[in-house]
Amino acid sequence: MKRVYTQRARARSVEATRQRILDAAVTLLSSRLRSDVRLEDVAAEAGVSVPTVLRAYGTRARLIELALEKVLEGMGAELRRPEPGDVAGSVAAWFDHYETFGDVVVRNLADESDPAVAPIVQIGRTRHRRHVESQLAPRLAGVPEERRARVVDALVCACDVYTWKLLRRDMGRPRDEAEATMTMMIEALLEGA
């Protein structure tokens, strides 16, 4: 009986260590470029050695892939918080997201020519467009089909991380003013559609 208990305890310990490592990678990936997430940093954050990280996940690439999935899951949940059609709520959610991840996203966009970064950027673009369409769907219902793709293109641009960067970083606007500006752009596009 003692051996079974020891094996279960060991298995729980191994799984807890794996989770700490993954959590550490998620934390680092949320604030750094993928290329800047080093195994030594993950190990230090998780309180383990680099060989332990490699035993748990095999390769840095596999660990980063799993961490990215977790980061994207978390981002998606935050962005879906407002009710579809709620422009001000959607803008606030985008700004919450951009205030946390925007600088890293912009740096990733700058590194898009890197084959390791390009797929991440493409995932982000696809998710952003899909999210804009789903969040603003009730307001897009009356847009004629022949204009819809162009209106969605314009909305994707208005809600983009670069719009946030221009307003918050380049122009130095306070968040409330920047949100009001993005909301104004979205409303103008929807009303003109």
pLDDT of residue 156: 98
Residue with the two structure tokens 């221009």: 166
- Residue 119: exposed, middle, or buried by beta-carbon count in 10 A (0-12, 13-18, 19+)? exposed
pTM above 0.95, yes or no: no
In this structure, are residues 25 and 40 in contact, taking their beta carbons and an 8 Å threshold? Answer: no
CA 46 – CA 135 distance, rounded (Å): 36
- Grouped pLDDT means (10 residues each) for the chain, 193 residues: 68 88 89 83 94 93 86 74 94 93 85 83 90 95 94 97 97 98 97 85
**Measured CA angle at 181 (ends 177, 71), to 5 deg:** 85
CA 10 – CA 118 distance, rounded (Å): 39
CA 141 – CA 66 distance, rounded (Å): 37
CA 139 – CA 84 distance, rounded (Å): 9
